[in-house]
Amino acid sequence: MLIAANKAVSIDYTLTNDAGEVIDSSAGGAPLVYLHGAGNIIGGLEKALVGKTVGDELSVSVEPEEAYGEYSAELVAVLNRSMFEGVDELAVGMQFHASGPGGGMQIVTIRDIDGEDVTVDGNHPLAGQRLNFQVKVVAVRDASAEEVAHGHIHGEGGHHH
């Protein structure tokens, strides 16, 4: 069975950056299972998997525009510490939900703390990076009507909303 829209796909993968450092991997764990065509994985990897079948192995380099986008300096802001009321201790690397430019929610990460100034970054941690995947297709099946309607694959024993 070929990978196409509305297929449940299981892949083993290792993700590295251009320096060869492993960023993420399914090695030693369960394969990643996703609904093809539903935007569950980054676009560049999803495109590369179209038409593949069980047992296929591939190396895929995905440019930022087909991954997490280019890095945007507009998503970096310096806020006063008082904006974090209710949080006793701030630390670099902490993440918070904040209102995004379009009114939706986004995650921001504290990048720097200088006295009362707290620098936050709304970019995805992998924004602006080329992502390199080693992938092996482990399984492909038709997704159930419920999985297609929900836009994601349900785990063993079903998925409860």
Q: What is the pLDDT of residue 157?
A: 42
Q: pTM for this structure?
A: 0.82
β-pairing verdict for 32-35 and 117-121: unpaired
Distance CA 104, CA 3 (A): 32
Domains and CATH numbers, the chain: 7-68+127-150 (3.10.50.40), 73-121 (2.40.10.330)
Cβ contacts of residue 133 below 8 Å, gap of 6+? Answer: 13, 14, 15, 45, 48, 58, 59, 60, 61, 62
Q: What is the pLDDT along the chain (161 residues), one digit of tens a residue?
A: 999 999 999 999 999 999 999 999 999 999 999 999 999 999 999 999 999 999 999 999 999 999 999 999 999 999 999 999 889 899 999 999 987 767 788 899 999 999 999 999 999 999 999 999 999 999 999 999 999 999 999 875 444 44
User: At CA 159, angle to CA 152 and CA 133, rounded to 5?
Assistant: 40
